[in-house]
Structure 1
């Protein structure tokens, strides 16, 4: 069994603060919003934004005993900045990073400090921000674990990294081409093109890649000694169903979205400023 599978958290056996939010009602609400991902993204991302801010805030408080107020939250693959308002309400400075200019302006949103750049080569110095997150992005990049390493690189010692991605063999792995992705990504893309007369937004092999739950667990197991894995759990499941992440095979079908929460072990922490992210 992988080290990261043995528990959802490694801090003295403590249950993450976020676990109290992981109810069946929350799961049903979030899963129900998925049908709006393509037709009304604001509805879909509005619910996910609230949930993401809660998740990050809870884990940051577990880690530091502090709220998000005054922190810098770097969102890798943040698109047009759907999460900006929620993190702003929590008192954080939110900085989205997005490589695609059309995605940056997709919703007509403007977020001060938005950065165009690749998650696989983040345009920030080492130890730049207190919090670095990525939500449902890793399956859209060809080298997701390089992106994860970059996220850790720019996170300060004692800071928080939250890496959440859609599992390929889960029900939402094919995005708009599902459930036909179970017969292969190329087949699903061709079928979508025949049915709709256009390419899917998420094109397998170009902007959509097969990332497994086991890949995230393996990455968590193999992180360097100065990285502590705080939690690994299925994002949209109620707390009583988090055990599925520990079962090979079954987790690929049922996890849907895997979250890996990590921190760099603190050596000497300074006071964070907004200029640290420049």
Structure 2
């Protein structure tokens, strides 16, 4: 059986450029962007944990792009989402999916090999409750992979960016005034400010408490040699579009 790697994932500059190019299509062609992101995610997770026949639980799986990528890598896949519309985005809701809350996962403790979440943490009012739930349901020795869009990054306000730098509520009002309808991601309801500092602090607290070992803390889209920026307060909030917390359950 393949062994998981203890070496950090080294994101190349070419990978970063490719993902940032695809990011331009997040709004006009979400299928293109999320297919590329899902395939990249499955490859990154596979660096840390073998996926063949392993159970992956995707918190906030969405319409199926990540399901297809993880299953193509040989994993068994389950997903949770809070929105039936999101789950049905590619057609019928697939078997192995459930509607529920990320802050109270309907899964028993210590039962999944990999608990994965991409770009969901910023959409729940209690993000670190959800993160703790992800740790709870993961088997000892299993992998927890959490990736989220940071608030002070260029895309922190999602479709209201860059006006979120002037305040989330103000950006929401501006978007409604300009477009004649509310944004999909509504500040204070379905979009919340989650920072790099908060993610680093939470991960280190969990390690100190003995529940996890930190495998890697890294910007998702940046090349590997830029990880030193996470040590620079303020700067790290602006240049880290998306933060990845990779943890191994003790």
Cα shift at 1:135: 0.5
Cα shift at 1:109: 5.3
CA distance in 1, matches of 2:69, 2:62: 15
Q: Secondary structure of 2:24's match?
A: helix
Aligned residues: 243
CA distance in 1, matches of 2:13, 2:47: 18
Cα shift at 1:155: 0.1
Per the alignment, residue 247 of structure 2 pairs with: 262
- State yes or no: 1:105 paired with 2:88: yes
Deviates more, 1:124-133 or 1:33-42: 33-42
Task: Work out whether residues 176 and 183 of structure 2, in 8 Å CA contact, stay in contact via their aligned partners in 1.
Answer: yes
Task: Work out whether residues 61 and 67 of structure 2, in 8 Å CA contact, stay in contact via their aligned partners in 1.
Answer: no
- State yes or no: 1:75 paired with 2:64: no
CA distance in 2, matches of 1:82, 1:178: 25
Deviations 1:109-132 (A, max 9, x none): 543211111110000000010000
Per the alignment, residue 19 of structure 2 pairs with: 30
Cα shift at 1:226: 3.1
Match of 1:208 among 173, 181, 191: 191
**Mapping of 1:63-142 within 5 angstroms?**
67-108=50-91, 110-142=93-125
Gaps in structure 1 of 5+ consecutive residues: 1-13, 61-66, 266-278
CA RMSD of aligned residues (A): 1.1
- State yes or no: 1:180 paired with 2:169: no
- State yes or no: 1:163 paired with 2:146: yes
CA distance in 2, matches of 1:201, 1:39: 14
Normalising by structure 2, what TM-score?
0.94
Cα shift at 1:246: 1.1
Task: Work out whether residues 22 and 33 of structure 2, in 8 Å CA contact, stay in contact via their aligned partners in 1.
Answer: yes
Cα shift at 1:84: 1.1
- State yes or no: 1:244 paired with 2:233: no
Normalising by structure 1, what TM-score?
0.85
CA distance in 1, matches of 2:85, 2:43: 28
Q: Using CA pairs below 8 Å that are at least 6 residues apart, which structure has the higher relative contact order? A: 1
- State yes or no: 1:193 paired with 2:176: yes
CA distance in 1, matches of 2:167, 2:95: 40
- State yes or no: 1:221 paired with 2:204: yes
Call closer, same or farther: CA 1:143–1:33 in 2, change over 3 Å.
Answer: same
